[in-house]
Amino acid sequence: MAEDCLFCKISRGDFKTEFLYQSPTLVAFRDIHPKAPTHVLFVPTAHYATLNDVPSADDTIMTEITQAIQKIAKAEGVDQSGYRVITNINRHGGQEVFHLHVHLLGGRQLGSMG
């Protein structure tokens, strides 16, 4: 837990956020400013500032994120139409919240990257 980290607080339930997925190590909830009809964030309960900071000792979190994405994409009905998975890292990545999170965006045609 990092003091004053928004996603630490959300993932431990401080704001009574509705979780689409919840385990002791990972939660998923809707982005507050959705960029697509489905915009869900996958947030480890452990505080890793960015993807760069996932320790090699934690060899399960990225697999759990993948499995949770598969479940939520299906539940949201975007698994076949298609969707995008993004994690923004540091300045050039456009990261705003420095607690690792993976975006799932779907439900509309997404534009080209960049």
Task: Name beta bridge partners: 27.
Answer: 22, 43
Q: Which of 33, 47, 92, 101 is catalytic?
A: 101
With CA atoms as reference, report the closest residue to 34 among 114, 112, 84, 103. Answer: 103
**Closer residue to Zn ion, CB minimum distance, 43 or 105:** 43
The site for Zn ion (CB under 5 A) is made up of 2, 5, 7-8, 47, 99
The least distance separating ligand AMP from the CB of residue 55, rounded to whole angstroms, comes to 20
Name which of 31 and 64 has its Cβ closer to ligand AMP. 31
CB of 9 to ligand AMP, least distance (A): 9
Q: Rounded distance, CA 78 to CA 94, Å?
A: 25
**Partner whose binding site includes residue 96, from ligand AMP, Zn ion, none (CB under 5 to 8 Å by kind):** ligand AMP
Q: Cα–chain-centroid distance for residue 59? A: 17
Active site residue 47: no
Considering the complex, state which of residue 42 and residue 78 has its C-beta at the smaller distance from ligand AMP.
Answer: 42
Cα separation, 34 vs 29, whole angstroms: 11
* Helix %, strand %, coil % of the chain (to 5): 25, 20, 55
Which residues are known to be catalytic? 101
